[in-house]
């Protein structure tokens, strides 16, 4: 199986020993993205909607680098620190997926990197 590292300067650089994404065959595995703006290297922490938009933008940049888009996504994992934010996160998420929705789980966690409130990872297939 061929394995290719996918990285783009448009999304945040990894903060540990991992890559933004790995393309294995026709399947793209995208590491969890947080609301970090790669252009400014600052966290977007205004509100949960702004945080979710930044996460989705980061994911789009990585998908684009791999020659894909949200239509290729088959699975997402959403990690949030407060389940009370679910409806707002879901509303923003729904702006990026309009049909043929991927499989998904949403899990509340005690904490996320850099004390953010949302992190999303994806799997996409060409």
Residue 39 CB partners (closer than 8 Å, separation 6+): 10
Enter the tokens of residue 78.
Answer: 């959403």
| Cβ atoms of residues 43 and 15 within 8 Å | no
Question: pLDDT, tens digit, for every residue of 24-43?
Answer: 999 999 999 999 999 999 99
pLDDT-derived band at 63, boundaries 50, 70, 90: very high
Q: What is the predicted pLDDT for the residue at 15? A: 85
Question: pLDDT, tens digit, for every residue of 83-111?
Answer: 999 999 999 999 999 889 999 999 999 99
3-125 has CATH 3.30.1330.40 classification: yes
Q: What is the mean pLDDT of the chain?
A: 97
């Amino acid at each position: 199986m061929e394995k290719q590292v996918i990285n783009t300067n448009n999304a945040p650089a990894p903060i540990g020993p991992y890559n933004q994404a790995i393309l294995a065959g026709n399947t793209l595995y995208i590491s969890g993205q947080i609301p970090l703006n790669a252009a400014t290297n600052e966290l977007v922490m205004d509100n949960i909607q702004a945080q979710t938009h930044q996460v989705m933008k980061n994911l789009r940049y990585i998908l684009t680098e791999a020659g894909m888009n949200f239509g290729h996504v088959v699975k997402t994992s959403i990690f949030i620190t407060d389940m009370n934010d679910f409806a707002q996160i879901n509303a923003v998420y729904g702006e990026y997926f309009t049909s043929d929705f991927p499989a998904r789980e949403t899990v509340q966690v005690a904490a996320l990197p850099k004390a953010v409130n949302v992190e999303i990872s994806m799997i996409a297939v060409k």
